Chains A and B, each alone.
Chain A
């Protein structure tokens, strides 16, 4: 009984310590943003990693998300004779939910995991301690460039993914459901309001901040050699994906 109590206490203590550590890291990253100019090369490198190198995956996921949404809803709407509305559904679902969330998932899984593994490997091989011993702040040198890259590139990547998704939806609507291209796009743009786009960009920004802080924190606090690196990588992805969904609900609830 006592051991069970101790185990529960340890779990809660770990959760609070991790959450506190992440909040502190977020604060430090925001403070370190003023040194962005002297870290420009590192920031650009990370922006390429988040943005350019994720483009093929974002294109594929975006395209098929749009096509599947169009197909699934379009067939049902066609039965009701409402297939002209397919643009509305594809537009709203991609901009409000699927675009920001799916893009965050692929970036967190691809880039976040790689950041956690890279920083974790650096931690266990004393590279982080070496930086500190040279008087170089690991947060400024390693975390801030990643944080800035994530919060700038995530919204861009999300918009790109949505555009590709809309185009994918149009492909299915026009060629399979027989909806005219003009009607598809007209219904789609008519249904979207400025608040939808604003909400989408807010979500992308918050998701970018979340996965970058989670990945950097788990990486920088890695211990126990190669096994620890593996555990940190898994932990980074699991926490990031969970937090993206939790944040998605609250942003939709309070800003939507």
Chain B
């Protein structure tokens, strides 16, 4: 599932977050969007599933222009797109097993008696066997993110969007999540878009790196080209000297 974004603009209370942003996400590849805190990475990601609507511009997901689709028309499309939220987005009132089974039950994608088996299989895929009856509140951040990935996989998505998947995790857990993202992208050939500022993940996973700066994509290249880019902003980001406009305001 390829994505094309043309001249995307979004403001919040007069503060322009995305300004005429153009971006192409190739099918079956891992595209990483980097940028400083508050640069609009998550806002951009949420536009791809219609969770946030643009002020102007166009967003094509697959062959479809989703810019002006009604909320009702977006629901079938969202079943083909999985989004892994920074917090995991698990329902706190449901067990891990119920969270993973949620999409299957609500969309009646599997017979009731087969659902426990599918849940078990997806949890095994993210190395969380036997955690079906745990409550999300009792899990670590990394485990919650893996449950969220397991839940997303039950719908067999064509596109997975990761919002800061390794934020707040220790290095071994970040490594586990990175390996999982890579495995899914390579094994099931799912198109992956990942928003992060974790450079280790960027250079390990990315097929394409896109840098978001002041509402625009200023560089879109391979990881090697990104690393050797002459762009001052890219170099300051790599050297961890980068300050986005949002951080400078603070």
Contacts and interface: CB of A to CB of B under 8 A. Distances in A.
A96 to B, nearest CB: 39
Nearest to A125: B87
A126 B86 contact: yes
B89 A130 contact: yes
Given A133-B51, A135-B78, A127 B92 contact: yes
Interface size class of chain A, counting residues whose CB lies under 8 Å from the partner chain: 10 to 19
A126 B91 CA distance: 9
Given A126-B87, A127-B89, A133 B81 contact: yes
Given A129-B46, A129-B85, A134 B78 contact: yes
A13 to B, nearest CB: 13
A132 B87 contact: no
Q: Secondary structure at chain A's binding surface: helix, strand, loop or mixed? A: helix
B136 to A, nearest CB: 10
B155 interface: yes
B102 A133 contact: no
Nearest to A118: B93
Contacts of B155: 134-135
Contacts of B219: none
B82 interface: yes
A68 interface: no
B162 to A, nearest CB: 12
Given A125-B87, A125-B92, A129-B85, A134 B51 contact: no
Contact of B103 (A126, A132, A136): A136
Interface in B181-218: none
B90 interface: yes
Interface in B60-91: 75-79, 81-83, 85-87, 89-91
A137 interface: yes
B86 A135 contact: no
A25 interface: no
Contacts of B89: 125-127, 129-130, 133
A121 B49 CA distance: 22
B79 A135 contact: yes
Given A126-B86, A129-B85, A130-B85, A135 B103 contact: yes
Contacts of B51: 129, 132-133
B106 A136 contact: yes
A133 B78 contact: yes
A133 B51 CA distance: 7
A55 interface: no
Nearest to A141: B106
Contacts of B107: 135
B145 interface: no
Given A130-B90, A133-B78, 9 more contacts: A121-B92, A125-B92, A126-B89, A132-B51, A133-B85, A134-B155, A135-B75, A136-B106, A141-B106
Interface of A: 118, 121-122, 125-127, 129-137, 141
7 contacts: A118-B93, A130-B89, A130-B91, A132-B51, A132-B78, A133-B51, A134-B82
A-B pairs with lowest CB-CB distance, top 8: A130-B89, A135-B79, A133-B83, A135-B78, A126-B85, A126-B89, A135-B75, A134-B103
